[in-house]
């Protein structure tokens, strides 16, 4: 009888890609993959350590896994496991602590899935389906070359390492063949793709190659640093409908003095130039940004400079973080930390700005036709929801059979946290026959 395994993930898109790799390894080792909440013999917690909250969430998932699966083997892996081996004694609920992800495959073979049957490797899409995802996270690189004063990620992930183009193409083709309709190119520093091989423009060239070798799936970029938004990359996005007009561009601060202390390799004017150029070339483009509130030494005036900067640049949503000192980073020992209460107030201000920016962008989308990948069905039936090509959450009429397909939807109004839309019948568009009435078809 095959053992059942489930994977719980904390953190970024790169972690979700890693979790899909865990699923592929587990199936090869003979395990059956169980959905979260179902009984399991082995629970893998893929952890994150980018903030204190991520650490807490990782520990909390391990403890919850132990409560819900008292007889299971609980395995902690990922960035928190790698950077905090000294925390093992504080988390006895974890049976195995795997800091080196390459050791996980050996552990799974050792535990044994209970089946000796030879099974072909899963595609990324098949693995993501088992994790409950409809988008496929295609990891193109790992590691980071930056030395930001606050960041523990290079210690957890190492230096930049790009996956070979041939392997990425093979994985993309297999995912599309199995039904993937969106490929998310992800990594710790995806904009550096190919730089470790002495290449320049590697990311834009990879996207062009994937467009050539696949025919249906749309391609979305994950986080990319501002100086890596090149004219060639914008050309690729602008000229190809299958490349999603969506960029997430980390900012961290709009104050030059704070950016310098953070050891970020750009200034506010350079960032503004990049995102303004992108927004002016691609009208439907949505741009997101990460912002840290309360970095050591950030004065009230520095913070206000960031707020003013964000108010005037074409950034449409914010991921806001309260500064979290990470042991082993340069800024962890700095004495001029911002009081916790002040950090909380600054986070609140930024979240209010985020809300205003999101609503303004949503209102600007009303009336547009959008291509929406249906990912989930409404609880009451008759409704689907998913993300448009420019990463807007959209709810629209449809049945469960439509999950995993891309629909043309006209945005009707701003709803709760997204847009409400009306499906456009593909047959009616193709025939341009105004007399062709009747309900939309899947």
According to the model, what pLDDT value does residue 436 have?
38
Across-strand partners of 246?
A: 286
189, 145 Cβ separation under 8 angstroms = yes
Rounded CA separation 369/371 (Å): 7
Contacts of 336 (CB under 8 A, 6+ apart): 296, 297
237, 283 Cβ separation under 8 angstroms = no
Enumerate domains of the chain plus CATH numbers: 4-111 (3.40.50.12160), 134-244 (3.30.750.210), 277-364 (3.30.750.200), 369-431 (2.40.50.140)
Write the pLDDT tens digit of every residue in 75-102.
999 999 999 988 999 999 999 999 877 7
According to the model, what pLDDT value does residue 1 have?
74
Closest by CA to 250, choosing from 144, 389, 356, is 144
According to the model, what pLDDT value does residue 117 have?
65
Q: For residues 190 and 119, which has the higher predicted lDDT (pLDDT)? A: 190
Answer whether residue 435 shows pLDDT above 60: no
Answer whether residue 433 shows pLDDT above 60: no
> b or e along 134-162 (b: 16 or more beta carbons within 10 Å of the residue's beta carbon)?
bbbbbbbbbbbeeebbbbbbbbbbeebeb
Closest by CA to 101, choosing from 32, 18, 33, is 18
Q: What percent of the chain has pLDDT over 90?
A: 76
Rounded CA separation 345/7 (Å): 35
φ and ψ at 393, to 5 degrees? -70, 130
Cα dihedral 165, 170, 172, 173 sign: positive
Chain centre to alpha carbon of residue 405: 20
Write the pLDDT tens digit of every residue in 286-342.
999 999 999 999 999 999 999 999 999 999 999 999 999 998 999 999 987 899 999
Rounded CA separation 405/399 (Å): 11
20, 131 Cβ separation under 8 angstroms = yes
Rounded CA separation 229/162 (Å): 18
Q: For residues 136 and 426, which has the higher predicted lDDT (pLDDT)? A: 136
According to the model, what pLDDT value does residue 426 have?
59
Q: Please state, rounded to an integer, the average pLDDT across all residues of the chain.
A: 91
According to the model, what pLDDT value does residue 295 have?
97
| Phi-psi label, residue 373: left if phi above 0, alpha if psi -120 to 50, beta otherwise | beta
Answer whether residue 425 shows pLDDT above 70: no
Hey, what are 403's tokens? Answer: 């999950």
Q: How many CA atoms lie within 13 A of 78 on its CB side?
A: 33
E strands, 81-191, where? 96-98, 136-139, 141-142, 161-162, 182-186
- Predicted TM-score (pTM) of the model is 0.89
Hey, what are 4's tokens? Answer: 């059942």
According to the model, what pLDDT value does residue 114 have?
64
Mean pLDDT lowest among 82-86, 109-113, 202-206: 109-113
336, 296 Cβ separation under 8 angstroms = yes
Q: Which residue has the tokens 């132990």?
A: 66
Write the pLDDT tens digit of every residue in 246-300.
999 999 999 999 999 999 999 999 999 999 999 999 999 999 999 999 999 999 9
Rounded CA separation 118/386 (Å): 36
DSSP designation for 161 = E
293, 249 Cβ separation under 8 angstroms = no
Rounded CA separation 379/40 (Å): 26
DSSP designation for 366 = T
Across-strand partners of 406?
A: 373
Closest by CA to 86, choosing from 325, 322, 328, is 328
Q: Which residue has the tokens 């009303």?
A: 366
According to the model, what pLDDT value does residue 336 have?
79
Across-strand partners of 410?
A: 369, 422
φ and ψ at 16, to 5 degrees? -65, -35
Q: What is the CA radius of gyration of the chain?
A: 23
Residue 383: count other Cβ atoms within 10 Å of its Cβ: 16
């Amino acid at each position: 009888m095959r053992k059942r395994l489930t994977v719980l993930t904390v953190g970024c898109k790169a972690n979700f890609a890693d979790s899909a790799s865990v699923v592929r390894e587990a199936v090869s080792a003979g395990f059956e993959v169980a959905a979260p909440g179902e009984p399991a013999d082995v629970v893998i917690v893929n952890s994150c350590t980018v903030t204190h909250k991520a650490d807490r969430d990782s520990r909390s998932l391990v403890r919850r896994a132990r409560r819900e699966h008292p007889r299971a083997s609980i395995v902690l892996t990922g960035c928190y496991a790698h950077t905090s081996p000294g925390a093992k004694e504080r988390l006895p609920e974890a049976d195995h602590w795997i800091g080196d992800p390459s050791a996980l495959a050996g552990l799974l073979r050792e535990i044994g899935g209970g089946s000796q049957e030879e099974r072909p490797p899963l595609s990324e899409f098949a693995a993501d389906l088992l994790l409950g995802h409809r988008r496929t996270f295609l990891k193109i690189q790992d590691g980071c070359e930056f030395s930001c004063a606050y960041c523990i990620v290079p210690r957890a992930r190492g230096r930049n390492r790009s996956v070979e183009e041939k392997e990425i193409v093979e994985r993309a083709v297999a995912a599309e063949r199995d039904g993937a309709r969106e490929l998310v190119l992800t990594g710790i520093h995806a904009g550096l793709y190919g730089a470790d091989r002495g290449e320049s423009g590697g990311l834009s060239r990879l996207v062009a190659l994937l467009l050539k070798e696949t025919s249906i799936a749309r391609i979305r970029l994950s986080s990319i640093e501002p100086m890596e938004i090149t004219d060639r990359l914008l050309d690729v996005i602008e000229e190809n409908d299958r490349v999603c007009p969506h960029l997430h561009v980390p900012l961290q601060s709009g104050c030059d003095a704070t950016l310098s202390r953070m050891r970020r390799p750009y200034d506010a004017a350079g960032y503004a130039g990049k995102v303004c150029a992108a927004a002016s070339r691609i009208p439907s483009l949505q741009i997101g940004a990460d912002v840290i509130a309360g970095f050591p030494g950030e004065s009230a005036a520095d913070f206000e400079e960031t707020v003013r900067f964000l108010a005037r640049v074409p950034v449409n949503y914010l991921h806001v973080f309260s500064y979290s000192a990470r042991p082993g980073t340069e800024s962890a020992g700095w004495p001029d930390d911002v009081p916790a209460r002040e950090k909380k107030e600054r986070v609140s201000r930024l979240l209010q700005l985020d809300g205003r920016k999101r609503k303004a962008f949503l209102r600007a989308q009303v009336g547009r036709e959008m291509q929406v990948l249906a990912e989930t069905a409404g609880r009451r039936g008759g409704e689907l929801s998913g993300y448009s090509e420019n990463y807007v959450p959209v709810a629209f009429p449809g049945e469960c059979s439509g999950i995993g397909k891309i629909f043309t939807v006209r945005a009707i109004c701003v709803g709760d946290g997204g847009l409400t839309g009306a499906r456009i019948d593909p047959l009616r568009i193709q025939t341009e026959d105004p007399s062709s009435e009747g309900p939309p078809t899947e």
